[in-house]
């Protein structure tokens, strides 16, 4: 009798990502948040290291706490379509959004998963428009209903918030959905 392979839930990816984020935050806390110097510092060679690293670093426990919920919810909405779109969009948003932030950001260390969160939001909205499928449109509506206020986070309203990271993440998310749509066409 053939052995049936048990498939794991795609949501375990999100659980693992969340555990990694909190593990790094605990280490960063023990190091008095010295790891934040590995965030994105725009237009410097050292700041390039922050492009793939900055989403995993946070300025405080409160910072990560504020990012955890939206990351799980919006990431979970993307996972409705499977692991591949989640992984591809996450990598694309982190790299392209991070590069955009490195190019246009203020001269300061930019850390946190919020650019990724804004990227997920942009991805879901763009996919809802580009796919022309009821499921994608519904997921976009849920994202807007829950997190429509994110649009305000892309404006320079508070000096200690990286609105540039939010904007670059959002644009990268839209671009990720567009690239995915072109590959499927």
Q: pLDDT grade, residue 128 (50/70/90)?
A: very high
pLDDT at 6: 59
Q: How confident is the model at residue 185 (pLDDT cuts 50, 70, 90)?
A: confident
List 40's β-bridge partners, or say none.
110
Q: Express each pLDDT in 99-117 by its tens digit.
A: 999 999 999 999 999 999 9
Q: Is the pTM higher than 0.85?
A: yes
């Amino acid at each position: 009798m053939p052995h049936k392979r048990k498939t794991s839930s795609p949501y375990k990816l999100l659980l693992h990502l969340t555990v990694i984020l909190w593990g790094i935050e605990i280490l960063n806390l023990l190091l008095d948040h010295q790891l934040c110097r590995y965030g994105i510092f725009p237009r410097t060679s050292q700041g390039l290291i922050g492009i793939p690293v900055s989403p995993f670093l946070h300025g405080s426990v409160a910072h990560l706490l504020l990012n955890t919920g939206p990351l799980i919810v919006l990431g979970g909405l993307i996972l409705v379509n499977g692991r591949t779109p989640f992984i591809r969009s996450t990598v694309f948003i982190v790299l392209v959004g991070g590069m955009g932030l490195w190019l246009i950001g203020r001269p300061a260390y930019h850390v946190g998963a919020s650019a990724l969160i804004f990227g997920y939001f942009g991805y879901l909205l763009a996919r809802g428009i580009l796919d022309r499928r009821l499921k994608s449109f519904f997921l976009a509506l849920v994202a807007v209903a829950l997190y429509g206020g994110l649009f305000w986070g892309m404006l320079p309203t508070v000096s200690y918030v990286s609105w540039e990271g939010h904007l670059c993440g959002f644009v990268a998310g839209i671009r990720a959905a567009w690239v995915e749509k072109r590959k499927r066409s």
